[in-house]
Homo-oligomer: A and B are copies of this chain.
Amino acid sequence: MRRAGGRGSRPGHGSDRRYRRPVTRLDLLADPVDLCAALVDTPSVSGDEAGLADAVQAALGEQAPHLEVLRSGDAVLARTRLGREHRVLLAGHLDTVPIADNLPSRREGHLLHGCGTSDMKAGVATIAHLAAAVAQPRHDVTFVFYDCEEVEAERNGLGRIERDHRDWLVADLAILGEPTNAGVEAGCQGTLRAEITTRGHRAHSARSWLGDNAIHAATPVLQRLAAYTARDVDIDGCVYREGLQAVRIAGGVAGNVVPDECVVTVNFRFAPDRDAAAAERHVREVFDGFDLALTDLSPGALPGLTAPAAAEFVAATGAAPSAKYGWTDVSRFAALGIPALNYGPGDPNLAHTREEHVDTRQITEAVDVLRRFLS
């Protein structure tokens, strides 16, 4: 699940490769819960996934000899070539948000605590285990372990793979192992960010009548936000709840100056019945009359559950699908015309929190469901 877009979200640059530690050995065929703990204890903050990518690549080479393996930057891809009628793609990102005093991992009954447990090393463990464990799957399978999902869209490893190895992304269904509490979350909402700038005229605050206060001028922007009523949209039985929120406000020059600029940054999360252009049009209407600059726009994805392979997988889970709220790379596959859904262990509400953890029973359940689907 992607972290903040926009500025300032570039933690680390992966420049320490000269000092890389020896490759961690991962046992893909062990209990996937143990595998998850081993993945969590190999830190891989966005930009610093090289060590973990090395470990995954080495483990696949050694423990899954039936797979063709490809390295792309700090992503590792693997696939069967069994000539099956359908191909399923299972994908998970290797990177995490910055560590928040929550490593190494720690077990407490059924819970495994630590950075990345939920988002999404539990999903990566599930997928990596199946890569080694199911040597003769019913469908051909492509496994994608990629880098830089938690940062700006232009750094996303899946985007690089799409540019450099487009043939590796061909599939009839893509399943992203993002945290969904081991239920199918279909499609995803789109996300738009914009800066609304109000302007005024500087003056010394002791002679404020000579100025024009840009912060005061932002009042109607906040009024419109506070009064905004968000839609709930039902698509294929999945309800998407939209939201329009100020995520930042900044204005001010000095303690004695009437400020001449104030910027309100808003984030619009929109249901996939709006495309990118419609989402932009809507936000511009809401803030009609104001100077609005778009800073980030990622389209959503329709649920796509009517595709046969998707319907088959939903049936294998034995539960009703629901809407995905967070933006995920599902929309990237949707844009490539590949039906895609989110399915993985872990609570999405714990993603990016200091208290991040996963209920290990969900890992076991997800492995069982996917194994059934593939066997």
Using a CB–CB distance below 8 Å, which chain A residues touch chain B?
A: 2-6, 9, 189, 191, 193, 204-211, 213, 215-219, 222-223, 225-226, 230, 241, 243, 245-259, 262, 264-265, 267, 269, 296, 325-327, 348-349, 351-352
Contact = CB atoms under 8 A, between A and B. Distances in A.
Contact of A253 (B206, B222, B247, B257): B247
A248 B251 contact: yes
A19 to B, nearest CB: 30
Contacts of A207: 241, 243, 325-326, 349
B243 A259 contact: no
Contacts of A348: 204
Query: What secondary structure prevails in chain A residues at the interface with B?
Result: mixed
B204 A247 contact: no
22 contacts: A189-B206, A191-B205, A193-B255, A204-B348, A207-B243, A207-B326, A213-B246, A215-B222, A215-B248, A215-B249, A215-B264, A216-B225, A219-B226, A222-B222, A247-B258, A248-B251, A249-B249, A249-B252, A249-B262, A250-B252, A255-B265, A255-B267
Given A246-B251, A249-B252, 13 more contacts: A193-B255, A205-B243, A205-B269, A216-B225, A216-B246, A219-B222, A219-B223, A219-B226, A247-B252, A247-B254, A248-B251, A248-B255, A250-B252
Q: How many copies does the complex hold?
A: 2
A73 B226 CA distance: 53
A254 B206 contact: no
Contacts of A296: 255
B193 A3 contact: no
A265 B351 CA distance: 33
Contact of A256 (B3, B241, B250, B258): B3
B3 A206 contact: no
Contact of A206 (B9, B243, B251, B264): B243
A326 B352 CA distance: 48
Q: Nearest 8 CB-CB pairs, A to B?
A: A248-B252, A208-B243, A4-B255, A4-B254, A215-B246, A219-B222, A206-B325, A206-B326
Contacts of A325: 204, 206-207
Contacts of A3: 254, 256
Contact of A245 (B205, B248, B326, B351): B205
Contacts of A223: 219, 223
Given A206-B189, A219-B222, A219-B226, A247 B256 contact: yes
A2 to B, nearest CB: 8
A6 B255 CA distance: 7
